[in-house]
Amino acid sequence: LDKSGSRYFRHYLLGAVNFVRRCDSEFQRSYGLKSKEVNKCQHKHALAFTARKLPRLVFRLLKAHRLYIPAVD
């Protein structure tokens, strides 16, 4: 995540993503893949990578007036 912008928003976004990644299998998968790629600060890097996905997903869903239906494994 970029360091520009509200630090409070960034803090709450990372908290929300941390919650979502524990509950949603798609976010768990992307978090796991990214954390295996990185050697240092695995949790931070993987969480920031996953945090970029969530606002894009929310924006797409709001724009299309659709509900989020998680993928079933």
Cα of 60 vs its chain's centroid, Å: 14
CB 46 within 8 A of CB 36: no
Burial zone of 3 (CB within 10 Å; 0-12 exposed, 13-18 middle, 19+ buried): exposed
> Can you state the angle between helices 25-37 and 42-64, rounded to 10 degrees?
140
More confident residue, 34 or 72: 34
Residue 72 has pLDDT above 90, yes or no: no
Q: What is the pLDDT of residues 24-68, one digit of tens each?
A: 999 999 999 999 998 888 999 999 999 999 999 999 999 999 999
For the whole prediction, is pTM greater than 0.85?
A: no
Q: Which two tokens stand for residue 9?
A: 């928003």
Q: What per-residue confidence (pLDDT) applies to 1? A: 61
Q: What per-residue confidence (pLDDT) applies to 2? A: 62
CB 57 within 8 A of CB 68: yes
Residue 4 has pLDDT above 90, yes or no: no
